[in-house]
Amino acid sequence: MAIVKLQPDVNLLIKTTLPEAITEPNKSIFTSLVPETRITSLLKYVEGFPWSINYYGQILNTNNTLENYDPSTPNLTQPYYNVIDLILQVSSPIASSYSQETGITTVSGAAIAPYNIIPSVGDIFVAKVDTTEDAIFTVISVNRKTHRKDTIYEIAYNLYSYVSANPNFITTLQTRVQDTYYFNKDTNFFNRDILIKPSVKEAIDRLNNFIHTSQEYYFNTFIQRTTGSLMIPGVSDMIYDPILINFILSTVEYDNLNIKKLSLFNYSNNSFIDQPSIFNVLLTRNKSLINTINKKYKFVSSVYLNNKTRFGTPYFANIDYILFPVEPDTKIKIGNLERLSEEITDSIDVRTTNNYSLSNLTIPTLDTNLNLLHSLFEDNYYIVSKNFYDFINDPNNPNNTSISFIEFLIYKFINNEAINKEDLAIAIEKSEQWSLLHQFYLLPIMYMIIKNSI
């Protein structure tokens, strides 16, 4: 079957600036990963129907001419990019028309391409039709819908052939593909990540799977059944961190988890405990708070808290120790609370051989190798180290580079910088090898960063 000869009428420039690939996941070059309803008629593609396709667009520059695909030409003269699982919005359902003059029946339709996709006359796409069979379509016209810089395009297309009738067509076409992308169905409409490279797609899949499996592990491992709350693991005492619990309650979605909501014990609204911490900086992504928060904490006996014998307090629930700031802001006198901070002298180190070790996992970077993890509660620094605060206050100082890779991701998140999905996937790849204390404190932070980055 010959390709219909058409004179392309518009020169369009294809621009693609996307992350580089690392490893390509296994996948069909024709079909979508997303199961679609079995389609028994072309008329199923009614107006407004979202149609999942594999799109092959010509890579063009200002000096290129639009051409129909010709399998007889050398591969380098007709380079293509491939977008897997691109979704078209059908504007004119597929219909057939018969020409009395030529005796040829043409099957054609029209659809709206997603924002940021610039189609060209002569482009090709493969999609399921009829009884879920793959068919090949060619773009015969492109209509710009607005004259704004950011616009969308409507394409008209003709059915060229079924893949089963011309199997070598796609095989040959695939050899001319220079760039492969996945269409990001979950993206915001104007998100720059509407197209993602295979390595990014693979990283996103890994991160989504990690969120599900790791959260199940986290709560099954660290919830103390008698209290219904999280307790420091690997110690004989009951040790409670209300600041971490508050953070988890604010960030974790419980709908898909088979657990009850965590218990938050009444600590008498202790104004010292309630003062801002690194978690407030993470939740607001406001770097200016850094110099106003409590950076150091220790675990003190729950007997120091007011109203310790009341129902629902940590002491009443047989909790031995509770997190408390080492140097709380005492500028505002709050009754006996100021005296309380001065009297607390005894505390407990929660790091034991059962729950804590600093692994030698490293992450290679352009300049050096960064340790994946950092010390926890070193000199009472909470969640992040002193090196982190030195770095965030002066990131350009060459002496402030001794932060961990996890701390660097936290810095980028707080600083509202884009975080590479592959970096996140690398960071959590061996999280099962982290010490229990690193898992206890850093996994909830990684959940938040991942959810806000993919």
- Measured between alpha carbons, how far is 311 from 243 in angstroms, rounded to an integer? 20
- Measured between alpha carbons, how far is 376 from 431 in angstroms, rounded to an integer? 16
Question: Which pLDDT belongs to residue 193?
Answer: 63
Strands (E), 353-451: 362-364, 369-371
- 3-state secondary structure at position 442: helix
Give me the DSSP letters along 256-282: TSSSPPPP----TT-TTTTS--HHHHH
Phi and psi, residue 90, nearest 5°:
-60, 125
Half-sphere exposure of 3 (CA within 13 A, CB side): 20
Question: Which pLDDT belongs to residue 333?
Answer: 55
Where exactly are the structural domains of the chain? 42-196, 200-451
10 Å CB burial of residue 114 (0-12, 13-18, 19+) is buried
- Measured between alpha carbons, how far is 129 from 38 in angstroms, rounded to an integer? 9
Question: Which pLDDT belongs to residue 234?
Answer: 94
Task: Render each residue's pLDDT in the chain as its tens digit; 454 residues.
Answer: 443 334 444 444 444 433 333 333 333 333 333 233 333 344 445 567 889 999 999 987 655 566 677 665 655 557 899 999 999 999 988 888 877 787 777 889 999 998 878 899 999 999 998 667 899 999 999 999 877 767 889 999 999 989 988 888 989 999 999 889 999 876 554 445 678 888 888 999 999 999 999 999 999 999 988 788 899 999 999 999 999 999 998 998 877 777 777 766 665 557 788 899 999 999 999 999 999 999 999 998 887 775 554 545 666 667 889 899 998 887 765 555 445 555 566 789 999 999 999 988 998 876 678 899 999 999 999 999 999 999 999 888 777 678 999 999 999 999 998 888 999 999 999 999 999 999 999 999 999 999 998 8
